Amino acid sequence: KEGKKKMSEKELKRIKPLQVRCTNCNEQFELTTNLIGANGINHKIEFTYKEEGREDKKLYLTYYVCPKCGKKYFVQIDDDMSLKAFKTIAKNFVKLARLKQSGRVTRKQQLKFNKQRRNLEAYRNKLKTYYVGKTVYDERTDENFILVLSV
């Protein structure tokens, strides 16, 4: 089994940081994908959505935090199904990149990959439409809060 490949320093430098401003304290800072924690994207905190008459639903929220005041900005909602689809897409991306390097990628393979990405995006948009504005439960803090996305 192959190990996970990390992005090279050269590839990381090509990713331009996003300038964001906190709506709470007005702090402006750079948001980068390669800085987990500090001024970066924090991946997947688990929350629970409880609805009367239905089984509890686990949600995974991707967010970033203002370094000055600590306000969290949620940017993406996932569930078990979307995370599984994302893992499949990530594996296929690596396979496709290797095939492209050797010049053996077919149009059919590329179209299949693009369709998987579009389907995941559509599914995540459905999650966003359904859950934004709903109350979710944070087991770590034992608090309920209304889910709001920043993007």
> pLDDT for 106-150, tens place per residue?
999 999 999 999 999 999 999 999 999 999 888 888 888 888 988
Residue 11: CB atoms within 10 Å: 10
pLDDT 10s digits, 73-100: 888 999 999 999 999 999 999 999 899 8
Residues 6+ apart with CB under 8 A from 59: 46, 47, 48, 49, 77, 78, 79, 127, 131, 136
Two tokens, residue 41 = 């994207």
For the whole prediction, is pTM greater than 0.85? no
pLDDT the model gives residue 55: 87
pLDDT the model gives residue 35: 47
